Amino acid sequence: MKPVFYLAAAAMIAVALALLLVPLVRHGRRQGRPRGIFVLALMVAFALPLGAAGLYLLIGTPVALNGVEKQPEQPLSIDQAVAELQTHLQAEPKDAQGWLLLAQTYATLRKSAEARDAYEHVLNLQPDSTVAMVGWAESDSIVRTDHRIDGRALELLQRAVQLEPDNQRGLWLLGISQFQHDRYAEAATTWRRLQPLLDPGSTVAKAVAEQIAVADARAGQPPVAQATATPDGPALQVQVSLAPKLKDQLHVGQTLFVYARAEQGPPMPLAVARLDASTLPATVTLTDAMGMTPQLKLSSAARVFVGARISSSGQAIAQSGDLEGDAGVVEVSTRAPIKIEIDRVH
């Protein structure tokens, strides 16, 4: 409340009463009326406004005299923002930028299926959008159970890097697709196109160099000096062996997968190595360079589940008859060797 208000109000009341009552008192005295009547009138006159003020203080809202504070606007939640954008796109289905924003939002929220659908809308409106091409391919690889990049996803990536040769994300994912299809020399070549576009010495540049070294090794090429740098990120050394009881189930042509996936999160491996099962027992070092996408890598989790599997089909997804083993959940910062014995059948 403001004291100035009360002082001003009191002064105005006093002046008003003086102007009104003093002439009345003088007139009444000249008429010979008793003084007590005028004293009572004065008391009532002063009591009414004072009583009204007291009643207001008791049951009113005195704080309102200070003005009504402006209520701060509540920011929209991400769900509310997405809902508003969806409503907008229902009214304006040809807003390509709106669909692109929705797709990127879904991708950030790891709603890959929804992101892929939104990217599809963008491609229907803008067939040459390289952002949508690469986004669709990446979302599709996450949605798939085997996480492979092929079919339409591969075609979109090839077209994206053709239209935009310096598309970093497109080159990275295209190299991953080639690596997944055992085209190691092509993968190394694609990633070498990516290297000049990266900041020298950055974490990404080191990860690409390490991945090139892995591809070169798989392709039978000698590693280049720049690709032999020790990774600054996590490095899980995994020692894999096969239980004696399963040795008669090991056959020529089988593939050994050694992987690490987040303790809580998507099933896609954060790091995976693929070897010939005949190399068992084997030692593998899992690093960020062995992730399947740039976003999902070993250093993005604090704890990971580490496992190994022998596949007769060569497919990354587990199938009946595969031989398996795991070391359970370990800290990503672990430096001691992690031992896995493949001792059961899927």
**247 and 299 co-located in one domain:** yes
- Count Cα atoms within 13 angstroms, Cβ side, for 134: 23
Q: How far apart are CA 190 and CA 290, in angstroms?
A: 16
CATH classification of the domain holding 240: 2.60.40.1120
**119 and 93 co-located in one domain:** yes
Q: How far apart are CA 155 and CA 5, in angstroms?
A: 77
Q: Which of 198, 228, 258 is the last residue of a domain?
A: 228
**43 and 143 co-located in one domain:** no
Q: Which of 182, 206, 228 is the last residue of a domain?
A: 228
**261 and 301 co-located in one domain:** yes
**98 and 184 co-located in one domain:** yes
**116 and 217 co-located in one domain:** yes
Q: Is residue 184 part of a domain?
A: yes
Q: What is the pLDDT of residues 127-160, one digit of tens each?
A: 999 999 999 999 999 888 888 899 999 999 999 9
Q: If you search the block for the tokens 């970093």, which residue do you land on? A: 168
Q: How far apart are CA 220 and CA 213, in angstroms?
A: 10
Q: Is residue 72 part of a domain?
A: no
**43 and 98 co-located in one domain:** no
Q: How far apart are CA 245 and CA 318, in angstroms?
A: 21
Q: Is residue 37 part of a domain?
A: yes
At 230 the pLDDT is: 42
Q: Is residue 137 part of a domain?
A: yes
Q: If you search the block for the tokens 């005295």, which residue do you land on? A: 29
Q: Is residue 85 part of a domain?
A: yes
Of 303, 345, 297, 300, the closest CA to residue 327 belongs to: 303
Residue 73 tokens read as 């606007």
Domain extent, residue 188, equals: 78-228
**55 and 91 co-located in one domain:** no
Structural domain count, the chain: 3
Q: Is residue 269 part of a domain?
A: yes
**109 and 202 co-located in one domain:** yes
Q: What values do phi and psi take at 125, rounded to 5?
A: -90, -35
**209 and 243 co-located in one domain:** no
**205 and 301 co-located in one domain:** no
Of 235, 231, 241, the closest CA to residue 331 belongs to: 235
- Count Cα atoms within 13 angstroms, Cβ side, for 234: 24
Q: How far apart are CA 282 and CA 308, in angstroms?
A: 11
Q: Is residue 73 part of a domain?
A: no
Mention every residue, 6+ apart, whose C-beta is less than 8 A from residue 34.
none
CATH classification of the domain holding 156: 1.25.40.10
pLDDT tens for each residue of the chain, 346 residues long:
455 555 555 556 655 655 555 565 565 555 555 555 455 455 545 555 555 555 455 544 454 445 555 555 566 677 888 888 889 889 988 999 989 998 888 888 888 999 999 999 999 999 999 999 999 999 999 888 888 899 999 999 999 999 999 899 999 999 999 988 888 888 888 988 888 888 877 777 878 887 888 888 887 755 444 433 344 678 899 999 999 999 888 888 888 889 998 888 777 788 888 888 888 888 888 988 787 666 678 888 889 999 999 988 777 677 888 899 999 999 998 888 999 999 999 8
Of 134, 94, 146, 144, the closest CA to residue 257 belongs to: 146
Q: How far apart are the first and last CA of the chain?
A: 77
Query: SS3 of 132, please?
Result: helix
Q: How far apart are CA 100 and CA 47, in angstroms?
A: 72
Beta-strand pair 235-242/338-342: parallel
Q: Is residue 71 part of a domain?
A: no
**329 and 276 co-located in one domain:** yes
Q: Which of 43, 66, 89 is the last residue of a domain?
A: 66
